Amino acid sequence: EVQLVQSGAEVKKPGESLKISCKGSGYSFTSYWIGWVRQMPGKGLEWMGIIYPGDSDTRYSPSFQGQVTISADKSISTAYLQWSSLKASDTAMYYCARLETFEYYFDYWGQGTLVTVSS
């Protein structure tokens, strides 16, 4: 069974750093891209970026380029999303999702990680 399990909710202060994780299981982790999607409170879905764990090839949405860093450790089948200096506007639910190889849709999703940034 394909599963993506994300790390737990985080409460941080503005200016702090954060790294959240997404662990894949039940499939070949290095053979599928993993994407990150933001959902701000009460809002829609926004694609942030995507990584291929096999070689760490990474693409970012222009809206998020330079704002976050996406990485992966294939030895432990885990992808990461990190911030070096959080802002209140980073408060959101963040989902990881596996990208289907040929038609580029997200077929499996993690449960989401809620990040709250507040002073």
Interacting residues toward other proteins by CB under 8 A: 35, 37, 44-47, 50, 59, 61-62, 95, 97, 100, 102-107, 109-112
Which is nearer to other proteins, 1 or 119 (by Cβ)? Answer: 1
Q: Rounded to the nearest whole angstrom, what is the least distance from the CB of residue 106 to other proteins in the complex?
A: 7
Write out the E strands in the chain: 3-6, 10-12, 18-25, 34-39, 45-52, 57-60, 69-73, 78-83, 92-99, 106-109, 113-117
Of 29 and 108, the one with the shorter C-beta distance to other proteins is 108
